Every structure is written in structure tokens, then in C-alpha cells.
């Protein structure tokens, strides 16, 4: 598999949200707006890249008995960095995302990529994998947040596009399920056409 194929798998074939259905808690919880989706996606992407990098470097020094707890500690360290940076530089976004930032530690995508990929590969492929999956996750959350924000308030990234009141349902929790279902169906259809 070429480097480009490895990189694009997180966007298309193995998108964490649309294909693998991983990370549903933040996907459904924070995507009330495009900015929330982008913020959460980029935070997770940073943690994915840095944890994959670190785990691929120290994988041979970690005993098998404590492999998963060691991975969690590495991931938690980078989540703490993200949390402190967001709290200091973008406090409004940090307030919006709330509890979902610390929950990156136990996100299936991050721990799954650490176990399935970074612990078995060298540094560069692990970075590419983390970047691919992280940006794919950010893309999915931003797209979902954009659609929900547009349908719910007529805006995208807080820029008003339609001046009338829209369907509030899409900004509320049930709207996340409806929009996600349609986006998954659309992505499945697009994936079939690209094969």
C-alpha cells in the first residue's frame, strides 16, 4: 500500500465515523456546530498523531503485561496538553466541548490505532496513520456539525446563510442521529462508486 493510500484511508475507506462507526460519543455530543466539530476533530487528530508517534518509539520497551495501561498514560499526557492549550487560548471552545476533551483518552479511535497500528509499525507509518485517521475524524465531525448547524440555525461557522429560523430539532440531540444516518448512507454510496 502506498503512502498516499495509507493517508487517504482515514478519509474514505476507513473513516472512523462514516465507515468504522467509532467515536460516536463525541460525534453525536459535540457536533451542534461546525466550529465545535472542527475543534474536537483537530484536538483528537493531535492526540492521535502524537500518541502514535510516541508509542511507535517506545513499543519495544513496554512489557506486554502493561501495554494497554502504558498506552493510556501516553494518550492521557497528550490529552492534558490539548486541554491546557484549549483552556488557555480558546476558552469559549473549551467551554463548549467540556467533558468531551478528557474523554479523548478513552476514545476507541485513539486507543484502537495505538494497539492495532502504532504498536506494530515504525515511526513514519504511525504518524501517517494517526494523521489520516485524525483528519478523517475531524472531517466527519466538521461535516456533521456544519449540516446540523445549517439545518438548525441557517448558519455555518456562525456565519448566517439563511435569515429565517430553521428546524431547531437538528441542533438538539435527536438531530445528530438523523444527520449522521443520512451522511453514513451518502458516504457508503460514494464509497461504492469509487471502488
11-23 confidence digits (pLDDT tens): 777 888 988 888 8
The radius of gyration computed from the CA coordinates of the chain, to the nearest angstrom, equals 17
Give the three-class secondary structure for 155: strand
Q: Which pLDDT score is estimated for 191?
A: 77
Query: Is 126 among the domain residues?
Result: yes
Query: Is 81 among the domain residues?
Result: yes
The residue range of the domain holding 95 is 3-147
Q: Which pLDDT score is estimated for 164?
A: 73
Q: pTM for the whole thing?
A: 0.92
Give the count of alpha carbons within 13 A of 109, CB side only: 35
Q: Which pLDDT score is estimated for 12?
A: 73
Q: Which pLDDT score is estimated for 139?
A: 94
Phi, psi dihedral angles at 192 (to 5 degrees): -65, -35
Helix (H) or strand (E) holding 30: none
Q: Which pLDDT score is estimated for 195?
A: 61
Place of cell 506494530: 120
Query: Is 56 among the domain residues?
Result: yes
Q: Which pLDDT score is estimated for 4?
A: 66
Q: Which pLDDT score is estimated for 19?
A: 86
Distances (CA, A) of 29 to 8, 116, 120: 26, 26, 32
Given a cut of 50, the residues of the chain with pLDDT beneath it are none
Please check whether residue 25 is in contact with residue 103, taking contact to mean a CB–CB distance below 8 angstroms. yes
Q: Which pLDDT score is estimated for 2?
A: 63
- Closest residue by Cα to residue 43 from 13, 12, 75: 75
Query: Is 39 among the domain residues?
Result: yes
Query: Is 156 among the domain residues?
Result: no
Q: Which pLDDT score is estimated for 162?
A: 87
Query: Is 179 among the domain residues?
Result: no
Q: Helices 34-58 and 67-89: crossing angle, nearest 10°?
A: 140
Helix (H) or strand (E) holding 177: helix 173-194
What's the domain count of the chain? 1
- Closest residue by Cα to residue 49 from 94, 14, 98, 7: 7
Q: Which pLDDT score is estimated for 192?
A: 79
Query: Is 44 among the domain residues?
Result: yes
Q: Which pLDDT score is estimated for 34?
A: 96
- Set of cell numbers at residue 90: 480558546
Gap between the Cα atoms of 48 and 59, Å rounded? 16
Query: Is 177 among the domain residues?
Result: no
Amino acid at each position: 500500500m502506498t503512502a498516499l493510500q495509507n493517508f487517504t484511508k482515514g478519509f474514505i475507506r476507513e473513516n472512523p465515523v462514516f465507515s468504522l462507526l467509532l467515536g460516536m460519543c463525541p460525534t453525536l455530543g459535540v457536533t451542534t456546530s461546525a466550529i465545535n466539530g472542527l475543534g474536537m476533530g483537530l484536538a483528537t487528530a493531535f492526540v492521535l498523531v502524537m500518541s502514535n508517534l510516541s508509542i511507535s518509539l517506545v513499543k519495544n520497551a513496554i512489557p506486554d503485561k502493561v501495554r494497554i495501561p502504558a498506552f493510556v498514560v501516553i494518550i492521557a499526557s497528550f490529552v492534558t496538553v490539548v486541554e491546557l492549550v484549549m483552556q488557555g487560548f480558546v476558552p469559549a471552545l473549551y467551554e463548549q466541548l467540556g467533558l468531551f476533551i478528557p474523554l479523548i483518552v478513552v476514545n476507541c479511535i485513539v486507543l484502537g490505532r495505538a494497539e492495532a497500528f502504532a504498536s506494530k509499525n515504525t515511526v513514519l507509518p504511525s504518524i501517517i496513520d494517526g494523521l489520516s485517521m485524525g483528519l478523517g475524524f475531524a472531517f466527519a465531525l466538521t461535516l456533521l456539525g456544519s449540516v446540523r448547524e445549517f439545518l438548525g440555525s441557517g448558519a455555518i461557522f456562525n456565519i448566517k446563510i439563511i435569515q429565517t429560523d430553521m428546524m431547531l430539532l437538528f441542533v438538539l440531540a435527536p438531530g445528530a442521529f438523523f444527520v449522521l444516518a443520512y451522511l453514513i448512507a451518502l458516504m457508503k454510496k460514494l464509497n461504492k462508486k469509487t471502488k
